[in-house]
Amino acid sequence: MIRLIPPWLTAHRAVLLALGALAIAAFVVSASDSEFAYRPDELALSLLISVVVSGAVTYLCAAVVRVPPGSDSWLITALILFFVLPGASDSAAAVTVAVGAAAAACSKYVLAWRRRLVINPAVAGAVVVYALAYAEVGSIAYPVWWVAAEPLLYPMVVIGALLVTALREWRLVAVFLAASLVTVGVLELTEGGQSLQFWYTSSPTFFVAAVMLPEPLTSPTVRVHRTIYGALVGVLMYWQVSIPISDAFTLEFVPEIALLVGSVYAFAVRLFTRTSADRRPRLDLVGPAPAGTESDTSPAEGVKAEGVKAEGVKAEGVKAEGAKSIAANTYELVVDGRVPLDFVPGQWAMLSAPEWSRPLWRSSRRVFSFAEAPGVVPGRFAFTVSGEVSPVKAGLISGSTGRVFLDSSGGDFVLPRHRSDRPIVLLASGIGITPFRSMLRSALAEGRTLDRFALIHVVRSADRMVYQDVLDAAEAAGADVQVIESSSLADGFDPRSLGLALDSTVVLGGAAHYYCSGNPRFVQTTAHAIRRFDPRTRRAFWRVHADAFLGY
């Protein structure tokens, strides 16, 4: 299914399209169903207020702090609040929408820690409205989550399923849905009075699952914490318990409060894990390192094992020249963050290049894999281009984009935490070699022998070969390295070709871990071949790791 996702469909574009389609469905239902809560004109006014106020306040706050806003994130926030806050059926509802949109926009700049969001802005706007309504401030109304109306159930399920598929977030959504169902079941057994129909027709279960939970900047970035996060929100949304806070206030876990707790949990995880992305560092593009410096030495040289640090390269004062071409349609991005980047080899990074004039449809964010060992300065990323080049990549290549921000980093495409004698098989197609370069650079920097590593890099043509110096160093350290030129294998191995490429005695006898990285077709086809080549991985599914490059 992943291979059907077009490269231009980034996560933010997918969410925008989904919310737009759901808004159209809402207007159609409103116009055709006389019993719907709001008339089309009331929905139109609510949408207009949410979009205008969110955009105006966002750009005002951005001008104050002198940082361009995300070109599409504020619109996504406005559309979410359109479905959460009441339709503009009267002046009180209109004021409620305006207050919620303004609060959400301000939260991006006020509720921030080291330039990183603490709370999902849409959640912040809904919580502010909830608090003001609870305190009976003016005529502010409560969030009503009218998107949970029964006539919108089928559009929400279909659109939500497509969105979750595009975002590749089925694991998180499944955990959330399971946790919420279990909570409803437990309450039915202990207290009674629960309704499964209410769960799927009269509560915003599917909207929260598909649209709000996967928000990338305020949710955890590794699997174990994402699982806890999804379960936590699922339980709290349906945990019908009121907690007295004071004589005047009782905490009830309405959807916005449950999502608030989830955002706080994600923030606490960031505080304790402490990666470079927590500071949202600015990364300046720098030119290629001069000859004889660290980038021209073997990967094991110029780097220290503890707190890996480059010796001999200082990026300060080096003129930005854009991403450099390292192979056909392949570019390397060299960046200086003034401080070493902290991550686990194999993880991804979300980079943004915000601009004041960027159109809404042109997202300022892209996801790349780290190509350098942790702590090495300068840092490196690599990417390919094909067809029409995205504005972000075009700016990086030309050098017109002189700096990017590291918005987030994470992922579980990493080597086993506990070292063992089990073989490690790295299978890459094209630019999918990038996370493996990071893994190998880190292992070489620590002085480790690589005799349990087998790496196969498939390229469509000889002019696409990259990082041969690192592969040669890995081979010298004991790794079994193969570079295969094959246009057919670049789209995936079959069991026979995989068996011919690998030493079956070593791999099958040692319960190997397999890592597949590259285009979606290569990853899916190769992962399927691995399960046939090594049948034990059908049960030990955790030994097959995949990292599909979707338009990197």
Within a domain: 416: no
Cα–chain center distance at 489: 28
Based on the fold, state whether residues 69 and 146 are members of the same structural domain. yes
What integer pLDDT is reported at residue 375 of this predicted model? 87
What integer pLDDT is reported at residue 551 of this predicted model? 44
What integer pLDDT is reported at residue 241 of this predicted model? 75
What integer pLDDT is reported at residue 162 of this predicted model? 94
Report d(CA 417, CA 83) in Å as an integer: 43
One-letter amino acid for residue 304 of the chain: K
Question: Could you identify the residue written with the tokens 């970035």?
Answer: 221
User: CB of 371 within 8 A of CB of 434?
Assistant: yes
Report d(CA 372, CA 368) in Å as an integer: 12
Q: Left if phi > 0, otherwise alpha if psi is -120 to 50, otherwise beta: which for 274?
A: left
Report d(CA 461, CA 260) in Å as an integer: 50
Comparing CA positions, the residue from 168, 216, 158, 171 lying closest to residue 524 is: 168
The contacts of residue 50 (CB under 8 Å, 6+ apart) are 78, 79, 81, 82, 85, 97, 100, 101
| Residues across the chain | 552
Report d(CA 58, CA 102) in Å as an integer: 8
User: CB of 160 within 8 A of CB of 18?
Assistant: yes
Peptide bond into 535 cis (omega under 30): no
How many independent structural domains does the chain possess? 3
Report d(CA 141, CA 543) in Å as an integer: 51
What integer pLDDT is reported at residue 277 of this predicted model? 61
Helix, strand, or coil (residue 496): helix
Within a domain: 437: yes
The tokens of 51 are what? 């979009």
Based on the fold, state whether residues 395 and 506 are members of the same structural domain. no
Within a domain: 223: yes
Residue 329, domain extent:
278-288+321-355+362-411
Based on the fold, state whether residues 402 and 436 are members of the same structural domain. no
Based on the fold, state whether residues 121 and 159 are members of the same structural domain. yes
Peptide bond into 7 cis (omega under 30): no
Positive or negative, the CA dihedral 391, 392, 397, 401 is: positive
Based on the fold, state whether residues 113 and 218 are members of the same structural domain. yes
Within a domain: 294: no
Q: Residue 513 maps to which CATH number? A: 3.40.50.80
Choose one of 371, 390, 411: the last residue of a domain. 411
What integer pLDDT is reported at residue 211 of this predicted model? 95
Based on the fold, state whether residues 116 and 216 are members of the same structural domain. yes
Based on the fold, state whether residues 367 and 515 are members of the same structural domain. no
Strands 330-336 and 282-285, sheet pairing:
antiparallel
Within a domain: 307: no
Positive or negative, the CA dihedral 392, 397, 401, 405 is: positive
Based on the fold, state whether residues 59 and 46 are members of the same structural domain. yes
Based on the fold, state whether residues 239 and 384 are members of the same structural domain. no
Based on the fold, state whether residues 394 and 449 are members of the same structural domain. no
Within a domain: 217: yes
Q: Residue 387 maps to which CATH number? A: 2.40.30.10
What integer pLDDT is reported at residue 362 of this predicted model? 64
Choose one of 411, 444, 477: the last residue of a domain. 411
- Whether pTM exceeds 0.85: no
pLDDT tens for the chain, 552 residues: list them.
Answer: 455 666 667 788 889 999 999 999 999 999 999 889 999 999 999 999 999 999 999 999 988 988 777 767 889 999 999 999 999 999 999 999 999 999 999 998 888 887 778 899 999 999 999 999 988 888 899 999 999 999 999 999 999 999 999 888 999 999 999 999 999 888 888 877 677 777 777 789 999 999 999 988 889 988 999 999 999 999 999 887 777 776 667 777 889 999 999 999 999 988 887 666 667 788 888 865 443 334 433 333 333 333 333 333 333 434 456 788 999 989 999 998 777 888 999 999 988 887 766 656 566 788 899 999 998 888 999 998 877 777 788 888 888 888 888 888 888 999 988 767 789 999 999 999 999 999 999 999 988 889 889 999 999 999 999 999 999 999 999 999 999 999 999 999 999 999 888 876 566 667 889 999 998 899 999 999 999 999 999 889 989 999 866 543
Report d(CA 40, CA 93) in Å as an integer: 15
Report d(CA 530, CA 501) in Å as an integer: 12
Report d(CA 508, CA 543) in Å as an integer: 12
The tokens of 72 are what? 């599409």
User: CB of 462 within 8 A of CB of 491?
Assistant: no
Based on the fold, state whether residues 141 and 195 are members of the same structural domain. yes
Within a domain: 310: no
The tokens of 238 are what? 């349906």
Choose one of 245, 273, 301: the last residue of a domain. 273
Within a domain: 303: no
Based on the fold, state whether residues 234 and 92 are members of the same structural domain. yes
